[in-house]
Amino acid sequence: MLFRSGRLVEQTKQGEPVLVDDFRELIDRPDVDAVFGTMPDHWHGVIFARALEAGKDLYGEKPITRSIAEGAEICRLVRRHGRIFQTGTQQRSWKQFRHACMLARNGYLGHVSRIEVAVPGGRAYPAVAPCPPPAGFDYEMWTGPSPLLPYDPQRCEWLAMYMISHYCAGFVTNWGVHFLDVAGWGCPEVLTAPFTAEGTGRMPSGGMTDTWIAWQMLLRYPSGLAVSFSNDDNPHPHGTRFVGDKGWVWVNRGEIKAEPASLLSVEFRDSDEQLHRAPPYDDAVTAHIADFFRSVRTRQDPGAPVEVGHAASTLGNVCDIGLRLGRPVRWNPVAGEFPDDPQANALRHRPLRSPWAM
């Protein structure tokens, strides 16, 4: 099921798409068992919640939701209704990412004390004059739970919508979730332990966008683990690098490198901790989707279950909140809150425009 320009597209058995103006028309159908949620980020919470309450299994694109509170609610609904949820972090179904994380998990790098993560930075867009929406485009429906602002020619388009905080927290989350998730796959502490986040960022100086163009964040954990998270080449190259006292491994979608290079040819032992293995497709997206369908059949969690997706999404949101407050913040993932910090805790939520609610 795809959400494009205010419409949902369902692929029928005959291959002909059925178009509807309201996603609820499809979600409420008893003959629909599973939903692919690929709508813009600001719609994730509302549509995912409605699908789960209707008893549907979900392949949900990342980040799980626009806000931390919405993500926590989706986790609750998945378990309450006994649904399968696969987060669209397909790098967990990518062979080279699995190899890198197996090295980190099983001591081949020695003690891992530092992880470096870098993803594409944001960009600014100039403000343009409002105009009527194109004929046939339901802009009010596209806006959904976000504030209804005057339409302009670039607001709803890729890439500008990812840079507007009403719809997305920017690439600090939307891209960040992919490689922060890899950091957590290789070192579970990244996703499960409390941490302090601090750093600096740069916003657009004007125009219509209001998310981070560049940032340098440092996440510090009680064990001494440090995660350095930035936009690409500021200073880290694109990808995730695990640094241990016996070696390092760096991986992105294009390549994997290690020191010593022999780490790349390690054949893991049966006694090593094994990470989830997706069905054997060369293409990671196909493998990730096949993993979802396998879970629908078996009722066993897929490789990127909802709690993992929420935790990885939250890392970027915590960084965004700390940057917006202009100070360090502490996050407790078990409690799901910033301890003794009402100002930061208030930013876990965002108001939803009526009549949309979770």
200-221 pLDDT, tens digit each: 999 999 999 999 999 999 999 9
Predicted local distance difference test score (pLDDT) of residue 107: 98
Tell whether the model's pLDDT for residue 7 goes beyond 70: no
pTM here is 0.94
Please, which residues bridge with residue 333 across strands? none
The arithmetic mean of pLDDT across residues 109-135, rounded, is 97
The arithmetic mean of pLDDT across residues 140-148, rounded, is 97
Sequence-separated (6 or more) residues with CB below 8 Å from residue 98: 92, 275, 277
Tell whether the model's pLDDT for residue 188 goes beyond 80: yes
Tens-digit pLDDT profile for residues 66-97: 999 999 999 999 999 999 999 999 999 999 99
